[in-house]
Structure 1
Amino acid sequence: MTRELLTNIGQLVTNASAGDAAAGDAATGIDRLGIISDAAVLIDDGRIAWVGQATDAPAVSPAETVTGAQGRCVIPGFVDSHSHIVFGGDRAAEFEARMSGQKYSAGGIRSTVAATRTASDDDLRARTSGLLAEMLAQGTTTVEIKSGYGLTVADEARLVRLAVEVTEEVTFLGAHVIPAEFADRPDDYVDLVVGEMLDACAPEAKWIDVFCETGAFTVEQSRRILSAGAARGLGVRVHASQLGPGDGVRLAVELGAASVDHCTFLTDEDVAVLAGSTTVATLLPGVEFSTRQPYPDARRLLDAGVTVAIASDCNPGSSFTSSMPFCIAVAVRDMGMAPAEALWSATAGGAAALRRDDIGRIEPGAKADLVQLTADSYVHLAYRPGVPLVERVWKNGVLARREDEIRS
């Protein structure tokens, strides 16, 4: 067993209920961060063993590691609960066209499907590995990965298999869009998804998801797909209300989904239903940044008591960013969130969206996933957008990236 004491932490964000009493401020969300000043953390065999004031830290033997944080801020590793990073091809031309005034639609997904089908396993692994390295260097220690760019039985099973190689949070998204070969018979494709495709993917996937949206899948089709996945033991996730208002949010709550993602266009009924449920509203700031759609109103959700997560939605079409700090900055600037709320949503909120209590927080028993910033306060994540503020990252208690490696 290996132990490491991380000490001389100027500001420790734990996301635990305990912390400096003076730090509590419900108006800004600071009360949820469980901040401890002049703190230390003891890591033991990949888990958090102790958290508290540095002056009260347990003794360690000369053979064990003591690391000084130089008065910096330490936060939980980011939990990116929505990504699509196993894919082939590139959609830079689509982005350029959109920035020139063309409207985003779900149809662009098909171009990535075509490129992914022709890519080799090694090509897909290389792309995924590169994006995971970007994420880790920016403080993301847990990533959910969806399939959805194969849309045949063999290709969807392949994408799930490749995703399982790098994360336990794998989502089967055979219901991403109707593939071109089924354009005139969408219900036949739904039959394939709930039958042979689900049979091939359910043994390795943890979640099932559907794009319940105009141009993708109807509410009735979505209910059938999600119910079939739930019957096979998969947790439920839903893409909904990205392109316009619809019934996807209410469907997600009806089926007990862990998360409903996008939530750009919500009715008062949607907000009320979410507030009375355990379903997390996962907001994806990079999407609106990249598509020029209106940003979701996080303030409205938070004020109603909805649990909110922030994720990157890293994908080649509508949000090709791997940076959770960037998403935090956008959420604060354009979605009505306070810096503390955005940080909580990118860590503990993401964990809630994955129904995990062992990540997204720094407290005894949790995984030792920590991020040391170059700054003395978490506020700098929004205050200094675009600046590389991640100095060191621990994943499962291992110092995964040192400063010189991150900067290279």
Structure 2
Amino acid sequence: MPASVPAPAPVAPGSVPAPAPGTLLVDGIGELVTNDPAHGGGPLGRLTRAAVLIDGDRIAWVGRSADAPAADRRLPAEGRAGLPGFVDSHAHLVFAGDRAGEFAARMAGARYDGGGIRSTVAATRAAGDGELRATAGRLRREALRQGTTTIEIKSGYGLSVADEARSLRIAAEFTAETTFLGAHVVPAEYAGRADAYVDLVTGPMLAAAVPYARWMDVFCERGAFDGDQARAVLAAGAAAGLGLRVHANQLGPGPGVALAGELGAASADHCTHLSDADVAVLAAGSTVATLLPGAEFSTRSRYPDARRLLDAGVTVALATDCNPGSSYTTSMPLCVALAVREMAMTPAEAVWAATAGGARALRRDDVGVLRLGARADLVLLDAPSYLHLAYRPGVPLISQVLHDGAPILPDGG
């Protein structure tokens, strides 16, 4: 997959309205994070007393309010901070049921081992399309209200040809960033026959998934798929024209990160247990280390060492890993706060990772940044600075979201 691929519009935009005709000037922004270093202010490209001109669904101008061009309409920011919409590059929104009981057991001391995935598979297979669509839509709207304008959605809770295809078909109604994760775990009917299941994933299941998928993913982990099986899955996806992503090194050391680097995957996700060689692979290549602090929060597991990765020059993204078992949150602001408090990231590093970093993990250059020609995805905070995302955790700071140039109402519609 090319280094930067503008994704098509999703099949159905859900509740997002179309932008009004003409230009819109958002001005009076107290502090604006652009992620465009051309503006100065370091990698965040920070501007003060700033404005953004939107034409349709694209950014037409960024600069100081005093220099702003005329526009057909005006949205006063009244000193609020602004930043690009969050880019959540790892989420599992198509499923049925929940695993609240499993969460309670973990909080009482039970260990997370990924085994609960199979219970969600059973519930998802039993659910109708309407139920799956309603859950995915509810979570997508929830994420949008919290500033997430670009989201990736994986399959992985069907694990049959028909159920994986319908999961991706439903996911494509809410995002262009759809990922085929048929290799999530080995389903019960293939117990003891993992290689046979890999043959299914790389054959009929992949053929059914390709019309609805942009990416191929595999859970390369003990209890899921080993290095050879993961390689077969990723090679088949690449041959079918899909970009590559890898669930890697979450529960313990393993070959996932090295495999992601070798095959040029866009991202290696989790990256909790890394060797020096793993870090070197990530630093030397283009694979983004996508860190998912919501999973560690929900499983009481060790957090990834973001400081080690950043100091080595690795590109880091933050994402929610929203799923019913190990990270049932759609909140990118929560992930920013956790990254700062628990993973030794600075607020600036965490905000960049949650916006531009996520865009890098999706090989996109039209989101996660506010510059001429980028998609008009802008978030305003009820705060004077992006610092408040970590400084005031748990507080609903998202004041306004513009997605593809359209203001989103408080109810997400």
Q: TM-score normalised by the shorter chain: which range applies? A: over 0.9
Q: For residue 182 of structure 1, what is the aligned residue in structure 2? A: 190
2:70 counterpart (47, 59, 74) = 59
- Structure 2 residue identity aligned to 1:301: L
Alignment of 1:1-400 (within 5 A): 1-20=21-40, 23=41, 31-60=42-71, 64-400=72-408
CA distance in 2, matches of 1:365, 1:204: 27
Q: CA deviation at 1:346?
A: 0.2
Q: Write out per-residue CA displacement over residues 103-161 of structure 1, whole angstroms, 9 at most, x where no aligned residue.
A: 00121100000000001100011111111111011000001000000000000001010
TM-score, structure 2 as length reference: 0.94
C-alpha deviation, 1:400, in angstroms: 1.2
Q: Distance in 1 between matches of 2:30 and 2:96?
A: 43
- The 3-state SS of whatever aligns with 2:37 is coil
For residues 14-54 of structure 1, what are the alpha-carbon distances to aligned partners after superposition, in whole Å with 9 as ceiling and x for unaligned? 0001224xx3xxxxxxx110001110100001100000011
1:266 is aligned with what amino acid? L
- 1:257 positional shift: 0.1
Counterpart position of 2:17: none
> Which contiguous aligned blocks of 4+ residues in structure 1 show a shift greater than 4 angstroms?
none
Secondary structure of the structure 2 residue equivalent to 1:312 = coil
Report the Cα offset of residue 233 of structure 1: 0.2
Flag structure 1 segments of 5+ consecutive residues without an equivalent.
24-30
Q: Counterparts of 1:147 and 1:128 in 2: how far apart (Å)? A: 11
2: distance between equivalents of 1:197 and 1:126?
Answer: 24
Q: Give the whole-Å Cα distance in 2 for the aligned partners of 1:2 and 1:200.
A: 41
Indicate the SS of the match to 1:281.
strand
Query: Please, what TM-score do these two structures have when normalized by structure 1?
Result: 0.95
Stretch moving more, 124-133 or 75-84: 124-133
Aligned partners of 1:380, 1:7: CA distance in 2, in Å?
20
How far 1:84 moved relative to its partner? 0.3
Counterpart amino acid of residue 317 in structure 2: A
2-structure distance, mates of 1:79, 1:184? 38
The separation in 2 between residues aligned to 1:274 and 1:329, in whole angstroms, is 24
> For 1:325 and 1:276, how far apart are their aligned partners in 2?
29
Which segment drifts farther, 1-10 or 188-197?
Answer: 1-10
Q: CA deviation at 1:401?
A: 2.4
Output the CA distance in 2 between the equivalents of 1:290 and 1:264.
14
Name the SS of the counterpart of 2:156 in structure 1. Answer: coil
Matches of 1:224 and 1:46 in 2, distance apart?
A: 40
Structure 2: gaps (5+ residues): 1-20
Shift of 1:202: 1.0
